[in-house]
Amino acid sequence: MGSTIGDIGEFGLIARVTARFPQTENVIIGPGDDAAVVRAADGRVVATTDLLVEGQHFRREWSGGRDVGHKAAAQNLADVAAMGARPTALLVGLAAPPDLATAWTDALSDGLNAECALAGAAVAGGDVVRSGTLTIAVTALGDLEGRAPVRRDGARPGDVVAVCGTLGRSAAGLALLRAGADGPAECLAAHRRPRPPYAEGPRAAELGATAMLDVSDGLVQDLGHVAAASGVSVALRTGALPADPVLDEAVRVLAELGAGPARPAEYMLAGGEDHALAATFPAETGLPTGWTEIGVVTEGDGVTVDGAAPVRGGWSHFG
Residue numbering of the annotated binding site for Mg(2+)? 34, 48-50, 79, 127, 214, 217
Binding residues for ATP: 126-127, 152, 216
Distance CA(178)–CA(71), nearest Å, equals 18
What residues contact 193, with CB distance under 8 A and at least 6 apart?
A: 67, 70, 71, 74, 111, 115
Binding residues: 34, 48-50, 57, 79, 126-127, 152, 214, 216-217, 273, 315
Whose CA is closest to 286, among 181, 160, 154? 160
Helices 169-179 and 245-256 meet at what angle, rounded to 10? 30
What residues contact 169, with CB distance under 8 A and at least 6 apart?
A: 186, 187, 190, 191, 244, 246, 247, 250, 267, 271, 274
User: DSSP class of residue 280?
Assistant: E
Distance CA(293)–CA(33), nearest Å, equals 47
Binding residues for substrate: 57, 273, 315
